Structure 1
Amino acid sequence: MVKEKDGPVAFSLNGKWISWAHTVIALAGFIGALIVGCKLHYLKIVKNEHYGYPQEWFPSVSATIGDRYPERSIFQLFIAITSGPRFILVGLWYLLTAKLTAARPGSFAPKFVGVVGLLRTFLCGGWVYITSTDDHDFHDIFMISYLVCTLPWTLGCLALSPPNRQAIKYRKVLASLFFGTLVPLIYYFIQHKVHKVAGAYTKYAFFEWSLIIYDVLFDAVTAIEFEGLQIQVVDTNGLGKGQTTPFVDTVAEKSKHSSSDEKRQVGEILSTRFSAGDLFDAAAEVYTGFVFWSILTSLGVTVWYFPLWHMGISGYEALIMTSVAPYFLGINPFQRFVGNNTHIFHLLSLLGIAAYFVTEPVTRLFGVGAGVFFTCLSYAGSFFASRQDSVRMEAKISGFSLGLLASAVAKFANHTNNPIWPIMNADNGGWNKTGLVLAILAVLRAARNQTAGGGNQKAAMDGQHGSFIFPAFGLAGLLFGLHSMLSDSSTMITWVWDGFPIKGPIAVPHGAYTLLAMGAGFLIGMFKENWASSWSFYGIGCFGTAILYKNPGWLGYYGALVLATYLMALVPSFIKSAAKHPPARTFGTAFLIYNIVVLAHVWVVAYAFVPGGPLLRERTDIVLTLTMLLIGAGVFSANVYSQSVRQRPEAPNRRRFRSYFIYILLTLEVLSGAIAYIRFPTFDYTPYHPEDKVLTAGIWTVHFALDNDMWSSERRMRDVIKELEIDVIGLLESDLQRIIMGNRDMTQFLAEDLGMYADFGPGPNKHTWGAALLSKFPIVNSTHHLLPSPVGELAPAILATLDVYGEMIDVLVFHSGQEEDVEDRRLQSEGIAKLMGDSPRPLILLSYLVSKPLKGNYNTYVSEQSRMKDIDPTDWDRWCEYILYRDIKRIGYARVSRSTITDTEIQVGKFVVGDKEVGTESTNRRVKEREVRPGWRFPDMFKGKGVRGHHYHVFKQPRYFA
C-alpha cells in the first residue's frame, strides 16, 4: 500500500489483469479471424497447393490470418491492441525477477530474458503485418526468428520463476506441450509437402493452432505471480519491495540436501550467475574446436584433387600423415613448450584456413597440411597439459565436441560445404576472411585462461593404468567414426536413401535430426560419462551401426541416430583416458591408426586405382567392424581408467562452465532447426518452356564438384545449367560422401537453387563414384542399379519415371566402367540394354559409355533389344558421353564446352512431349535454326565465344532435326 504522505492514488490495477487482458485479446484475434474466415472463405482457406475440400477441411493459421479480407484486418487489429498489455507484461516480469525478488546483485539473466521478451514482441509484429502473401521471405524471417527466441524466453521464464508450485507446474506442462507439438507438426508438414498425403495439412493445421494456444497460455501463467503486484498511479515515485525467492535459488538450495547427484547438477547449473566473460571463453573453445574440424576435414578433399587428375596415386597422399604430429611430443622439452604455449600452435594451425589466399593447388595443399600438423599437435598437447585440471579439461573436450557439431551446422547451412574450407572463396560461397578473423580472436581469447601445465613424460605416468595401446586404438576408432559419419548431417541419410517415392529421411529437413542426436550424445557424455563408456552402451552402439549398414529408409536411419548419439557420448571418457598416458604414444598412435582406417575407407571404392585395392573391394562391412573393434578397445581402457581413478572433490566452478556450453549447444540446435525450416524444399518446380512442352536433357561428368583449380564448383555448375535451360540432367562422378571428398553433396545446392527434384544414385555404402539425377519434372518413381562389374569399378545407374506435362517418361542415368575393363563394359552394356528394353515407356538415356560411335558395345546400347536411337548418329567425335532416346520427339542436340569446371563437356538434347501436332517420331534430317520455333531453340548466349568459357563446340552450333 502507498502511504498517504506519498500522495493520493489516482489509479490502481492488480497486475493479474494485464495477463488476462493479454491472453483474452490475443486469443480473440486468432479465434475471431478463424470464425470470420470459415464463415466467408471456408473453401478458399482450407485449399492448399495439392488438395482442397473435402480432403482438407481445417485451415492453417497462415491461411486464416494472412490471405483475405476481412479476417486479416480483424486479426491485425486485435494484435495491435494486444501490444499494449504485452509490453507491460514483459516489463512486469522483468521487475518481478530483477527488482522485487531476492536475486543476486548484478544478475544478468532477468535483463537477458527481458530483452528477449521485447524482441519477440517486435518480431511478432513483423510476421503479423508482413504476411506470406505480402512478402513470403520476410514473413518467414520474422516467424523463424520469433520461434528461435521462444526457446530462451521459455527456459528463462522457467529458470526465473518465483517458487509458486502452481505456476511452475503450468509452465512446465505448457512448455513441454509446445516443444513436443513441434515433432508431429514437422511430421505432418513433411507428409503434406514431400509425400503429398491428402488430409495431412489439416492435421498439421491442428498442431499449428495448438502451438498458438500453448504460446499464449504460457504467458497467461504470469497472472498467478502478478496477483501479488499492484499497479498504481501516484504523484510521487515509490519503491516496491519483495521477499520472494527465484525458483532457481530454491532449486539450488534444495539440491544441497538432495541425495540425487543429477538433481544437484541441474540445480547448480540453473542457479549459475550469468557472466558474459565466461560465455565468451566457452564460445572461444567451441570456435577453436570448429577450426580444428574444419582444417582436418579439408585435408582429404584437397589431397583428393591430385589422384583425381592423375587417375591413380599421385604422391601427395603422403600429406595425410601430417596428422601424426603428436609423435613429436615424445621430445620432452618440445612437449613442455607445446603444453605451455598451445595458443602459438593454434595460431600456426590457421595456415590451414589462410591457405585459401593461394590460388596454386600444390601450395594450397601444403598450407592445409601445415594446418593439420599444427592443429593436431596443439590439441594433443592441450589435452595432455589439462589432465590434472578437471575444469580446463572439460572445457577443452566440450569445445572439441561442440566444434564438430558447429562444423556440421555450418555445412548444413551452406549445402554441405564448410564456408572456411580452402576450396571455398568469396565467389563460391566462402566466408574465409570472416572465419580467419574469428579464429584469431578465439585463440587469443582462449589463451587468456591458459595455465602452465606442460608437465613431462614422467608426470604422465601418475595415475596411469594399463597400456597406451587400448586408449590409442579407441581414440583412433572414435576419430574415424566422428569424421566419416558425423562431419556432415547428410552422410548417413545418403546411406539409407533408396529413391522415389520417398520412403525415408531426406537431407533437409532431417539433417537437423542427426544434429539433435549429436547434441543428445554430447549431454550424455557430459552428465553420464561412466555410462557412456559402459559395455551395455557399446552394445547399443554396435547394434545401431549394424542397423544402419543393413537397412535402407527410416529403419536404417534410426540406427544412424543411435550411432550419432553413441559416438558423441564417448568423447569425454576416451580423451581423458588417452591423456593419462604420454601424448606421443596415445595421440600419435591414435592418428596413425585413424589414417590407416581412412585409407581402408577409401580403398573400398578406389580399389581399381590403388595397390592392394582388391583386398578391400566393396568391404565397407570390414571398415565398420574394424571401427567398432577399435572403439571396443577404447571402452575397455576407459573402464579400467574410471575404476582406478580416485574420486576427487568436484571443482566448484566446473559446473558453472558447463552451463555456458549447454547454452551454446541449445543455440546450435535451434539454429539447425531454423536452417531446416528455411531450406525446406518447396517441391513446386516449373520447367523452362512449359508453353512449348519442351524437355531439355543433359549429361555431364562433373569431377566431384572440384574445378581444375581446386575450387568448389557448384555455383559455376549452377550458372551454366540454368543458362542452358536444362530441365533434366544426369551428373556423374557425383558421390562426395567420403572423407576424401569432404563428406559433401553437390545435389543439395544445385537442386535448391535451380528448383529441381534430386535423386542421389546408389549411396556411398554401395561403393560407386556416383550418379545423380536433377529434374524440373516430378520424379514419380526411381530405382538404383549396380551393373555387372566382376573386375573393375562398379557401374551405377538410376532409372527414373518422370511426370512430363502429364505423360510418364523414363530417364536412365548411367556411368560405365573404365576402358581397361573390357569384359565389365560388355556385361554392363547388356545389363543396360535389358533395363531399357524392359521399360514400357518413352525413354531417354543420359550416359557415360566409353565406346566409339557405331562400334563395339555401342551396337548393344543401340539395338533391337533396347529399341533406342542415337541423338545424332553422325557425331563421330564421341567416346564417353552419349544421349539415346526412344518414342519421343527429338528436336535438337548441342555440345557445350566445360570451361575449367571439369574435364568433360556438357551434352544437351531437346525433346517435345505431348504435342500431338509433331507426334513422337524423329528423323535424322537436319533443319536450319530459323525453321525451328523460338521456344525450341538453344540459347544464343553460347554462340561464338560464349560466356565464361562455355560455348557450342565440335560442330560450333546446335543441331536441329525435323
Structure 2
Amino acid sequence: MTSKYKDKDGDVVLTFNAQWVAWAHTISAYTAFIGAFVVGVALHYHKIVQNEWFGYPEEWFPSVSATIGDRYPERSVFMVWIAITSGPRFALVGLWYLLTRKPGQRLPGFVFAMGILRTLTCGGFTYVTSTDDHDWHDIFMICYIIATLPWTLGCIALSPPNPRAIRYRKIIASSFFGTLVPLIYFFIQHKVHRVPGAYTIYAFFEWALILFDVAFDTVAIIDFDTFEVVIKDVKGSSKGYVQWLPKYENRSTVPSAVIEKEKAKATGGIFAVHFTWSEALDTAAEVYHGFIFWSLLTSLGVTVWYFPLWHMGISGYEALVMCTIAPSLLAIKPLRRLVVSNQRLVHLLSMVGMVAYKIDSPVKRLFAVSFGLSMSCLGWAATLFGESVHEGRLESKVLAWAIGLILSSTLKFAWYTNNPVWPIMHAANGGWNGIGGILAVLAVFRFTRKGSLTSGEAGADSQRGGSSVLAACGFGGLLFGLHSLLSDTSTMILWVWEGYPIRGPTANTFGWMTAIAMTVGVLVGLYRPSLTTTWTAYGIGCVGAAVVTFYHNWFGYSGALAIAVYLMALSVPFLSNASKRNPAVVFGLGFFIYNFMVLFHVWVVAYAFVPGGPLVREHTDWVMATMMLLIGCGVLDLISTTKSPRRKTQRPSASTSQRRKFHTVAVGLVNVFFLAAAFMRFPANDYKPYHPEDRLITAGMWTIHFSLDNDMWSSEYRLRDLIKEMELDVIGLVESDNQRIIMGNRDSTQFLAEDLGMYVDYGPGPDKHTWGSALLSKFPILRSEHHLLPSPVGELAPAIWATLDVYGREVDVFVFHSGQEEDPEDRRLQAEYMSRLMGSTTRPAILLSYLVTKPLRGNYNTYVSAESGMHDIDPSDWDRWCEYILYKRLQRVGYARVSRSTITDTELQVGKFVVPETEERSDAIEALDETARDRRVEEGEVPVGWRFPAMFRGQGVRGHRYHVFNEPRYYNH
C-alpha cells in the first residue's frame, strides 16, 4: 500500500492491492459469526442450545440462528460486524463486475445484480429476525438462497483463467450445495420426527454452510491479487474513482481453452449461452404451453369422476376419456395436412378447456374440458410430427412437454395438490384461472409463431426401421407412468406411507426429492440418451417399479425415485422417436393404450362398481407390470431403430445446443420455485387445541366425498372453514383418497392439516385400494396403525388406529369406513374385527366412523358392545345411517350434527369430551350406568368452553346449521 504521489491526471491519494477488499470481507464476515458464537457460548450456552423439543445434554451445539438472532449481546455483536461487512461486500461485488465484464456480454451484469440482491437480502433476514416478522424474514431468506445459485455458477463461469481459483471455487461450491442435503434431512429429523440430538447435527451442517458461503467469495483474493485500486485527487476536488492497473501477467501454463472447458463443465455450460430475449420468451412460452397440456390432461379425470361419484356407478360420461384419441384423425391425409398447416388454430381451440371454469353446469363444463383436451392432443401430435424434420426444433418441443410436467407438479405442490388452472378451481377456492388463461393464450401465439417445416405428408425418418405399433405401446405406457406416478410429487410418497412414528418421507418435506429426480431424468435423457435407451436401464426401471409397489418407507421411496428418473429420462428419446412415425398410429393408438391403462388402474379399486371389476381387484402390481411391458415395447423399437445403419449419431448444432441450455435454465428455475414453495410449506409442528384450559377434546367425523362439492368445485376451502369454526381438535375423514388419475392425484389432507395447524395421518395409501380414511389432530400422533378389514366380496374397508398425546394422557382414536350396503357379510365381518380391535385397548378411546347400519339394530350392537367397551354418543338419535361417534373412558359433554350445505352428501358430526386427568377418574366414568351417562342438561349449566359455537344456531351460516332436534345436545355427569 502506498501513500500520495502525483501522476499526469492528479494526485494519487491512496493505492492498495484489490485483494485487501476480499480480505476485509472475509475477516469481517467470519468475525461476525465467530464473535457471536464465542459470546453466545460464554454467556448463554444452555439457552442457545435449547430448542422447542430438547435442551442440554441431548442438544449441545448451538445453531447459527439461535446464536446470532435470539439474545443480547451476541445478536448485537453479529449485527455490528455484519454491518461492517456490507462495505467490503458491495465493493467485492463491484470489483468482480469490473474484472469480468467484456464487450457484448450480459452475464457479468446479471451476476452483479445477483450479488447485490444477495447482499441486500442478507441484511434483510439479519435485521428482520423471525421473532420480529416471520413472513418477511422467510421472504428475505428465500431470495438469498435463490440468488446464491446463479451467483455461484456465474462466478465460476466468469472466473479469470486461473486454475487454482477455479479449482477452489468448484470444491467450495460443491461442498456448499452438497451440505444442503444432510442439512435438510437432519432439520426434518428434528422438526418433524423430534429426534433427540438431530438439531445438534443440523447445527454443524448449518455452520458449515456459512463457512463455505463466505469461503467461496474469499477465493476472489487470488483473482484480485493482479490488480491495484488507485484513488486520485483530481483537480483538488477530492473526487475519487477506481482504476485497474495490472501488476503482472497471469503465469499459468494451462491453456485457456482447457480452463474454459473446465468452467463450462462445472456450470453445465449454461452461462456460455448467448442470451436473447426472443429465445428466452420462446422457452418460457413452450414450457408454459407444455404445462397447459398437462393441466388439461390431468383435469379430465377429476371432472369425469364427478359423475360416477354421484351415480354410485357407471354414468356414461366415462366415455369422454376417449377424447384423447383425437390424433387418430391424422390418418385422414387431407385433414392431417390441414391440421399441420394450421397448428395455431388447433392450439387456440384447446383453450376452450381453460375457460371451462366459467361454466356453472357440471355437464357442460365436462364437455368443454373434453373438447379442449382433444384439441390439445391433436395439436401436440401435429406439432411434434411437423417439427420432426428438424432435430433442434423437435427437441425443443419435446423438452417443453417434459418440463411442462415438472412445472405442473411444482404448481400443484405450491397449491397443496390442486392445479390453480383446473376447471374445478375458481377464485373462491384458490384458483388462478383468469391469469393462467391469459398467459396460456399468449403462450400459444408464441409457441406457434414459426410455421411447420412439413406439409404433413411425412416426417424426417418415416421410412426408417422399427415399428409404429411398438412406438405407440411405448408412448402409451410412458404417458400413463408419468401421469399416474409423477403428475403430483406426493403420489408415490403416499404409496410408501405407513403412519406414525414416521419411518419414511412426508409429502410436504420431501416432495422436492421427487421433483429433483424428475429433473435429473430429463437432463439425462437430453444429454446422455444412450444411458436410458438400453436394456440395463430398463431393468433398473423395472426394479424401481417393483420396489415402490411392494415396499414401504424409505426403501420403497428409493424405488420411487428410480422410476421417476427413468420415466423422465425416457420422455426425450421416446417422443423424439414417436414424432418421426405415422402420427395417427403412434399418438392415436398410444393415447388409446393410455386410456386403457387409466381404466385398468381405476378398476383395481372400483371393482365393486364396474363390469369385470373383480377380475383385477387389488392388482396394482398387474398395472405396474403392464406399464413396464408397454415401455419395454418402446425400448425395443428404439433400440432397433438406433441400430439401423442409416442412423448416425451427430453432435448437436450450435442453435440446438443454445436451445438445450435455455431449457436447462428453465427447469432449474422451476426447481428453485419448488424449493421456495417447500420452504414456505415447512410444518411448524407447534399446534395447540382450542380449549386446553378445560382439558377438552372436540372430535368430528365427516364423509368429504373426495373433496368435490355438489357443483363440481374443489371443496377444501369450504371444508376448512367449517372445521375451523366448529373448533375441532380431531377429525376423521373418509372418502378422502384422491391419489389416482380419475381423481386428479390430489391430497386434500395436506391443505387442511397445514392451514388448520394439525398433524395428519393419511391412512392406508393409494396402493391399498380403498376409498380412503384420514385423521387430522391438534394433538401429537404418537403412533398409528393402518388396517384393511375383511372384505371378501365388496369394497375394502380402511381403518386407522392412532394414539394421541392429549394433555399428557394417551387417547386412542379410530377412524373407520365400513363396506357398502349391498355386502352384508362383509359388514358383519368388519364389525366383528373393529369390535375386537377397539376392545383390545384399555386407554380412553373415540371411534369416528362410517358404519352403514341403523341405530340399535344389527351390526350396531357389535360395535357398541361389552367386547368393544364402546358407548354411543347419543343412543336416542334415531336419524342416522352411516356416521357414528362412539367412545369409552372419557367424559362426554356434547354432541351435534351440522348440515353439510352443498359441500358433500353427508353431514358433519361432532362430539365433545373431557379427558380425565387420572386412570382412576376414567374408571369412575366407566362405572356409571347408562342413565347417568346419557343425562342431558341445559347449555347454561355447562362451562362456556364446553359449548358449541353459537353461529350455527337457527338458520346458521352458509347453509350450515345444527339439526339434532334443531340444536346441539349437551351432556354432563
Q: Where on the TM-score scale, by shorter chain, does this alignment land: which range?
A: over 0.9
Q: Which residue of 1 aligns with 2:145?
A: 147
Q: CA deviation at 1:459?
A: 5.1
Q: Which residue of 2 aligns with 1:476?
A: 476
Comparing 235-244 and 481-490, the one that deviates more: 235-244
Measured against aligned partners, the alpha-carbon deviations of 1:92-148 in whole angstroms (never above 9, x if no partner) come to: 0111110xxxx4x32111111000100111100100100122112211111121111
Aligned counterpart in structure 2 of residue 958 of structure 1, from 925, 950, 968: 968
Q: Which residue of 1 aligns with 2:65?
A: 62
Q: CA deviation at 1:451?
A: 2.9
Amino acid at match of 1:684: D
Q: Which residue of 1 aligns with 2:32?
A: 29
1:851–1:880 CA contact under 8 A, matched in 2: yes
Q: Which residue of 1 aligns with 2:791?
A: 789
Aligned partner of residue 427 in structure 1, secondary structure: helix
Aligned partner of residue 902 in structure 1, secondary structure: coil
Aligned partner of residue 787 in structure 2, secondary structure: strand
Amino acid at match of 1:173: I
Q: 1:346 to 1:253 in 2, by over 3 A?
A: farther
Aligned counterpart in structure 1 of residue 190 of structure 2, from 176, 189, 192: 192
Q: 1:498 to 1:490 in 2, by over 3 A?
A: same
Amino acid at match of 1:204: Y
Aligned counterpart in structure 1 of residue 956 of structure 2, from 946, 955, 958: 946
Q: Which residue of 2 aligns with 1:934?
A: 944
Q: CA deviation at 1:649?
A: 5.5
Alignment of 1:644-683 (within 5 A): 644=644, 645-648=647-650, 650-683=652-685
Aligned counterpart in structure 2 of residue 88 of structure 1, from 91, 112, 126: 91
Q: CA deviation at 1:240?
A: 4.8
* 1:128 maps to 2:126: yes
Aligned partner of residue 8 in structure 2, secondary structure: helix
Amino acid at match of 1:920: I
Aligned partner of residue 911 in structure 1, secondary structure: strand
Alignment of 1:802-881 (within 5 A): 802-881=804-883
Q: CA deviation at 1:927?
A: 0.5
Q: Which residue of 1 aligns with 2:277?
A: 276
Q: For 2:912 and 2:281, locate their aligned partners in 1 and report how far apart those are by CA, in whole Å.
A: 57
Q: For 1:241 and 1:446, locate their aligned partners in 2 and report how far apart those are by CA, in whole Å.
A: 49
Q: For 1:46 and 1:233, locate their aligned partners in 2 and report how far apart those are by CA, in whole Å.
A: 47
Q: For 2:765 and 2:547, locate their aligned partners in 1 and report how far apart those are by CA, in whole Å.
A: 16
Amino acid at match of 2:601: H
Q: For 2:181 and 2:876, locate their aligned partners in 1 and report how far apart those are by CA, in whole Å.
A: 57
Q: For 2:484 and 2:86, locate their aligned partners in 1 and report how far apart those are by CA, in whole Å.
A: 50
Q: Alignment identity in percent?
A: 59
2:385–2:583 CA contact under 8 A, matched in 1: yes
| Structure 2: runs of 5 or more not aligned | 235-240
Q: CA deviation at 1:338?
A: 2.2
* 1:467 maps to 2:467: yes
1:337–1:454 CA contact under 8 A, matched in 2: no
1:335–1:454 CA contact under 8 A, matched in 2: no
Q: CA deviation at 1:647?
A: 3.5
Q: For 1:159 and 1:245, locate their aligned partners in 2 and report how far apart those are by CA, in whole Å.
A: 21
Q: CA deviation at 1:784?
A: 0.3
Q: For 2:590 and 2:948, locate their aligned partners in 1 and report how far apart those are by CA, in whole Å.
A: 56
Measured against aligned partners, the alpha-carbon deviations of 1:165-209 in whole angstroms (never above 9, x if no partner) come to: 111111011101111111111111111111111111111111111
Comparing 626-635 and 856-865, the one that deviates more: 856-865
Q: CA deviation at 1:466?
A: 2.5
Q: 1:789 to 1:251 in 2, by over 3 A?
A: farther
1:896–1:952 CA contact under 8 A, matched in 2: yes
Q: 1:211 to 1:352 in 2, by over 3 A?
A: same
Q: CA deviation at 1:59?
A: 0.9
* 1:16 maps to 2:19: yes
Aligned length: 951
Q: Which residue of 2 aligns with 1:456?
A: 456
Measured against aligned partners, the alpha-carbon deviations of 1:305-344 in whole angstroms (never above 9, x if no partner) come to: 0110011111111111110010111122221232233222
Q: Which residue of 2 aligns with 1:732?
A: 734
Q: Structure 2-normalised TM-score?
A: 0.95
Q: Which residue of 2 aligns with 1:204?
A: 202
1:323–1:373 CA contact under 8 A, matched in 2: yes
Aligned partner of residue 962 in structure 2, secondary structure: coil
2:21–2:92 CA contact under 8 A, matched in 1: yes
Q: CA deviation at 1:456?
A: 3.2
Amino acid at match of 1:646: K
Q: Which residue of 1 aligns with 2:523?
A: 523
Q: Which residue of 1 aligns with 2:777?
A: 775
Amino acid at match of 1:403: G
Comparing 336-345 and 612-621, the one that deviates more: 336-345
Q: For 2:867 and 2:838, locate their aligned partners in 1 and report how far apart those are by CA, in whole Å.
A: 8
2:228–2:245 CA contact under 8 A, matched in 1: no
Q: Which residue of 2 aligns with 1:400?
A: 401
Measured against aligned partners, the alpha-carbon deviations of 1:713-749 in whole angstroms (never above 9, x if no partner) come to: 0011000000000111000000000001100000000
1:352–1:369 CA contact under 8 A, matched in 2: yes
Measured against aligned partners, the alpha-carbon deviations of 1:844-874 in whole angstroms (never above 9, x if no partner) come to: 1100001010101111111111111110000
2:264–2:270 CA contact under 8 A, matched in 1: no
* 1:42 maps to 2:45: yes
Q: For 1:525 and 1:729, locate their aligned partners in 2 and report how far apart those are by CA, in whole Å.
A: 45
Q: CA deviation at 1:920?
A: 3.3
Q: For 1:167 and 1:494, locate their aligned partners in 2 and report how far apart those are by CA, in whole Å.
A: 45
Amino acid at match of 2:411: A
Q: Which residue of 2 aligns with 1:924?
A: 934
Aligned counterpart in structure 1 of residue 725 of structure 2, from 714, 723, 730: 723
Q: 1:289 to 1:161 in 2, by over 3 A?
A: same
Q: For 1:251 and 1:579, locate their aligned partners in 2 and report how far apart those are by CA, in whole Å.
A: 43
Q: 1:20 to 1:266 in 2, by over 3 A?
A: closer
Q: Which residue of 2 aligns with 1:218?
A: 216
Q: For 2:458 and 2:386, locate their aligned partners in 1 and report how far apart those are by CA, in whole Å.
A: 13
Q: For 2:423 and 2:890, locate their aligned partners in 1 and report how far apart those are by CA, in whole Å.
A: 45
Q: Which residue of 1 aligns with 2:757?
A: 755
Amino acid at match of 2:122: C
Amino acid at match of 1:125: G
Measured against aligned partners, the alpha-carbon deviations of 1:54-113 in whole angstroms (never above 9, x if no partner) come to: 111111111111111111111111111111111111000111110xxxx4x321111110
Measured against aligned partners, the alpha-carbon deviations of 1:801-837 in whole angstroms (never above 9, x if no partner) come to: 1111111111110000110111111111111111111
Q: 1:462 to 1:829 in 2, by over 3 A?
A: closer
Comparing 588-597 and 914-923, the one that deviates more: 914-923
Q: Which residue of 1 aligns with 2:420?
A: 419
Aligned partner of residue 893 in structure 1, secondary structure: strand
Q: For 1:744 and 1:243, locate their aligned partners in 2 and report how far apart those are by CA, in whole Å.
A: 63
Q: For 1:843 and 1:251, locate their aligned partners in 2 and report how far apart those are by CA, in whole Å.
A: 75
Q: 1:458 to 1:154 in 2, by over 3 A?
A: closer
Q: Which residue of 2 aligns with 1:607?
A: 607
Q: CA deviation at 1:238?
A: 8.0
Q: 1:268 to 1:140 in 2, by over 3 A?
A: closer
Q: Which residue of 2 aligns with 1:432?
A: 433
Q: CA deviation at 1:245?
A: 12
Q: CA deviation at 1:461?
A: 6.1
| Structure 1: runs of 5 or more not aligned | none
Q: For 1:264 and 1:513, locate their aligned partners in 2 and report how far apart those are by CA, in whole Å.
A: 24
Q: Structure 1-normalised TM-score?
A: 0.96
Aligned partner of residue 809 in structure 1, secondary structure: strand
Q: For 1:368 and 1:814, locate their aligned partners in 2 and report how far apart those are by CA, in whole Å.
A: 35
Measured against aligned partners, the alpha-carbon deviations of 1:922-944 in whole angstroms (never above 9, x if no partner) come to: 61111100011101111111101
Q: CA deviation at 1:646?
A: 2.9
Aligned partner of residue 643 in structure 2, secondary structure: helix
Aligned partner of residue 905 in structure 2, secondary structure: coil
Aligned partner of residue 578 in structure 2, secondary structure: helix
Comparing 450-459 and 389-398, the one that deviates more: 450-459
Q: 1:212 to 1:458 in 2, by over 3 A?
A: closer
Q: For 1:121 and 1:648, locate their aligned partners in 2 and report how far apart those are by CA, in whole Å.
A: 44
1:160–1:246 CA contact under 8 A, matched in 2: no
* 1:903 maps to 2:913: no
Comparing 236-245 and 390-399, the one that deviates more: 236-245
